[in-house]
Chains A and B, each alone.
Chain A
Amino acid sequence: MPDTDIVQRLRQAGLRIADEELTRMEDLARSHDAAALRLRASLKFGDEPSNVFRLPMPQERRS
């Protein structure tokens, strides 16, 4: 059976995945892919002021 897209991506990353692990790996990867799709739908270009990114920690660090 040919490798799925997810298996190809894992192997391109240099990871050795045993056959018995493929199902769980594909489940985990699909879960992340779905989360990323939802994330992209909830953020739009231009919906925040330009260049305000900062690590979103609730506290200020000591200077």
Chain B
Amino acid sequence: MSNPCFLTIAEASRLIRARRLSPVELTNAYLDRIAALDGQLNSYILVLREQALAGAREAEAEIMAGRWKGPLHGIPIALKDIYETAGIPTTGHSALFRDHVPAEDATTVRLLREAGVVVLGKTATWEFAIGGPSFDLPWPPARNPWDTALDPAGSSSGSGAAVAAGLCMGAMGSDTGGSIRSPSAWNGIAGLKPTYGLVSRRGVLPLSFTLDHAGPMCWTSEDCALMMQTLAAYDPLDPGSADPGPIDFTMASGKALAGLRVGVVRHFFEKDAPAEPEVCAALENALTVMREGGATVRDVTLAPLDLYYDLCGLIMSPEAYAIHERGLTETPELYGALARQRISAGALIKGSDYVNALRLRAKLVAQAAEVMREVDVLVTPTRHGPPEPLGQFDTILGRRFYTRPFNVLGLPALSVCSGFTGAGLPLSLQIAGRPFEDALVLRVGDAFEKATSYRAIRPALKGAAPAFAGGEAGPVPATVGS
């Protein structure tokens, strides 16, 4: 085995269970790779070398003693640095929280530790999951492993870059308007924003109480499903937590597309905010793959994308300001400019507009539920185009992406890699489902990934060792095509 850092969680788990892969050796391989390569990416702001090795040794001893806990046992992962970790700094990538050392793990972190993961470290984020790729913070912004001059998108920027670059096997992100799916799209990985309430936010630094979601980011949809099997759990400590009963996240061995009814929200990316031609071509290719797998495809209509943007802004901004009001009025100098400005604007939104945005949100939830009586999943691109240069955030901020509607609606939504541009940059597909049908969404993503060859290509990094399988570096396939 030349480089275990390019195994998927599913592959590594089988080897670990069979005692053919050592969690200690695997963790050491990741720590060495982070030390060698992360200077190009800045995906980590804290590497927990000793704790990770201690955790790996413990996992290895348990497995050797016949106490294998499950598919995450001995798997090295990373946490966006808004997930609270007991005794370990949780900064939100902000000077304001530079010395914040929580006493307890977030519920999700506790669940993952109980499942036996090895935590490699804390990853870069936009400041408090909203600021942007800022250069005026204590740590630099993460960079895109497909081209380090490019933006990895955010706010779960470090998690996305680290997964794509083989610097962890999976990571946790958070998503208020697209912050799991956007960096998943621009880093060419899989990322799930679960149904609102399915994964606890307890112990995750908040941005917007009614729009925040916590979820996994991995190389494949199958790996996201393996993490969700642990993460999907009712949490009495999170008032937004739901209890839909047990959910089976087992993948369907390629059968997920047979009989599936796919709704294409075409007006989002052809009329409301037109996507670039290569993105549209990749989406049409994905629809062909789905039809060939036995799915039926039709166009559907939701409310205009702008309306979702309006609601998301009118809800997110005052909720974020309510959380940060004291910090912004008392110590504004401890925020970076982007976060300070974006959150401060929430001070100007009237209470009546916030409440009316919630009223209209309820209407959109009902409208979407009606549409989804006729289809099983909705598809759109995730982003309008491939990654853009780092440092052009004003341009990016002015764009419309296709993620926010599913925060407003609370529906599960997955981003997967749908191919590459002619220049070798990743393109994206978004798959959304009904409430609590997260497993179906992941099965569709898994079926698409297994019907195409895009999971065989990793980004090339300077000085990187050859890939274990599929190929790091080397030519990237031209444009799309299954």
Interface residues of A (CB under 8 A from B): 6, 9-10, 13-17, 21, 24-25, 28-29, 31-33, 35-36, 38-40, 42-43, 48, 53-62
Contacts and interface: CB of A to CB of B under 8 A. Distances in A.
A14 B359 CA distance: 29
28 contacts: A10-B347, A10-B348, A13-B329, A17-B344, A28-B341, A29-B345, A32-B346, A32-B349, A38-B307, A38-B310, A39-B310, A39-B357, A39-B360, A42-B360, A43-B360, A54-B362, A55-B358, A56-B358, A56-B362, A56-B365, A57-B210, A58-B196, A58-B365, A59-B198, A59-B244, A61-B240, A61-B243, A62-B234
Contacts of B210: 55, 57
B344 A36 contact: no
A9 B358 CA distance: 24
Interface stretch (B20-28, B102-110, B311-319): B311-319
A57 B240 contact: yes
B350 A36 contact: yes
Contact of A56 (B195, B234, B242, B361): B361
B139 interface: no
Ranked nearest first, the 5 interchain pairs of A and B with the lowest CB-CB distance are: A56-B362, A35-B310, A28-B345, A58-B435, A13-B347
A31 B313 CA distance: 9
Interface string B351-367: 00101111111111100
Contact of B410 (A16, A29, A57): A57
Contacts of B345: 25, 28-29, 31-32
A6 to B, nearest CB: 7
Contacts of A31: 313, 345
Contacts of B342: 28
A59 B341 contact: no
B332 interface: yes
B359 to A, nearest CB: 6
B435 A39 contact: no
A42 B357 CA distance: 10
Contact of B332 (A9, A16, A53, A60): A16
Contacts of A35: 309-311, 313-314
B411 interface: yes
Given A38-B310, A39-B353, A42-B307, A59 B344 contact: no
B24 to A, nearest CB: 40
Given A29-B348, A56-B358, A36 B314 contact: yes
A32 B196 contact: no
Contacts of B364: 56
A12 B259 CA distance: 58
A43 B356 contact: yes
- Choose among A25, A42, A56, A57 the residue with the greatest number of B CB atoms under 10 Å from its CB: A56
B436 interface: yes
B369 interface: yes
A59 B411 CA distance: 10
B314 A53 contact: no
Interface string B43-64: 0000000000000000000000
